[in-house]
Amino acid sequence: MAEIKVPELAESITEGTIAQWLKKPGDYVEKGETICELETDKVNVEIMAEESGVLQQLLANEGDTVAVGQAIAIIGEGAAEPTAALQAAPQPVDETETAAPADRAEQPAPQPVAVAQAPGQRPIASPAARKMAREKGIDLTQVPTADPLGRVRKQDVASFAVQPAAPQPAPQAAPTPAAIPAAEAGKPVIREKMSRRRQTIAKRLLEVTQTTAMLTTFNEIDMSAVIDLRKRKKDKFFEEHDVRLGFMSFFVKAAVAALKKYPYVNAEIQGDEILLKKYYDIGVAVSTDEGLVVPVVRDCDRKNFAEIERDIAELAAKARSNKLSLADLQGGTFTITNGGVFGSLLSTPLLNGPQVGILGMHSIKLRPVAVDEERIENRPMMYVALSYDHRIIDGKEAVGFLKTVKDLIENPEDLLLES
């Protein structure tokens, strides 16, 4: 018999949340087989069995926070050895199963599951019910169920969520009616618990705003030349490299050229020292259902357009399927984010600490532009923004950096020479 423990994840990650058990007590598992998914601050990690055997007991439930090195399950040889808690637990039932009205009439009146639980014991509930309860911020011990064994099902949680909350004992220092938020004074609300990743994003962004002297400078870029180049070369590019030519590779290469010209934008503050980085690992922000993540494209100064586009596509696919590794997210020197894909016209991107610069791209819009003193033409224009840490980057450098990016994008031939 052996314990399955939370493995070492990364230097900055000490705990995680059990997102989903993929095996249940009594299941036979092979060595190296995934038994559960752990949600950490940055990525989801699959926990694997270190030896073959029967899963005897789960020591943590879905939604529980567990620390690195903590035992979360017991695996052994032969048949499962149910504990007292497991003996009391019923077999999983089909979430779609329903009982006829006549059958329900023979069952005891619905009672909160908490009535049948010993002190400190968790309520019996299906994984789907636990997940819905976490999302809606519902205490499972307060959910009534018609099941004779007291198990809570998904439909019980759904029914409880749309009912008025049961009266709760008044706290010792009850707020006065005037102090109750209007949204909760008899109004329908939904209370959701923040995911671990969203909590981490919120914490890091708040730290950035409180610990840096962030400032943003703006410019606009005429995208005509790049758009024309893509139209002429995209088919041949795809045939030769089996990857599509997008705008992001142009901006990555332009950013690398600008970082070489203005090295403090590629730096980091460590105490009273400035760490100037002579490598160019560019983070590319990707939006996922769980929140924004920033996987890193390595050594962009040594890669051509096709290699950069391929890396971006692969990292984006991994991000949206929750397959990013910790190594994919660590060590970036500068970040590019493209709010334009969602229609953003202009925004102020927040720094991705400990980096001191981030470039924001926005949507391309046709706007009238003065070509010379006599002519005005409609041109595809993009606003760009550079947020930077004013502690080590002066306005002159920031404006010069953004002007360099603008000049290279508007003259892509020069960008090819810079590469």
Lowest mean pLDDT among 283-297, 352-366, 367-381: 283-297
Fill in the DSSP letter of residue 83: -
- 219 by DSSP, 3-state: which? strand
Instruction: Give residue 53's pLDDT band: very low, low, confident or very high (50, 70, 90).
Output: confident
Question: Is 27 one of the annotated active-site residues of the chain?
Answer: no
Interval 168-212: pLDDT, tens: 555 555 555 555 555 567 789 888 888 777 777 788 888 888 889
Q: Whole-prediction pTM value?
A: 0.62
Q: Which fold has domain 212-416?
A: Chloramphenicol Acetyltransferase (3.30.559)
pLDDT surpassing 90 at residue 1: no
- 241: β partners: none
Which residue out of 281, 299, 390, 407 is catalytically annotated?
390
CATH of span 2-76: 2.40.50.100
Question: Is 362 one of the annotated active-site residues of the chain?
Answer: no
Question: Which of these, 357, 238, 252, lies nearest to 302 by C-alpha position?
Answer: 252
Residue boundaries of the structural domains of the chain: 2-76, 212-416
Element (H, E) at 65: strand 65-67
Residue 90 CA to residue 64 CA, distance in Å, equals 21
**Which ranges of 162-275 does DSSP label H, i.e. alpha helix?**
196-211, 224-241, 248-261
pLDDT surpassing 50 at residue 6: yes
Q: Give the tokens for residue 42.
A: 């940055």
Residue 280 CA to residue 359 CA, distance in Å, equals 14
Q: Give the tokens for residue 88.
A: 């009391």
Bigger pLDDT: 363 vs 74: 363
Sign of the Cα torsion 338, 340, 344, 346 reads: positive
Which residue out of 103, 228, 235, 394 is catalytically annotated?
394
Question: Which of these, 157, 147, 35, lies nearest to 93 by C-alpha position?
Answer: 147
Bigger pLDDT: 218 vs 145: 218
Residue 137 CA to residue 205 CA, distance in Å, equals 24
Instruction: Give residue 419's pLDDT band: very low, low, confident or very high (50, 70, 90).
Output: low
First-to-last C-alpha distance (Å) of the chain: 58
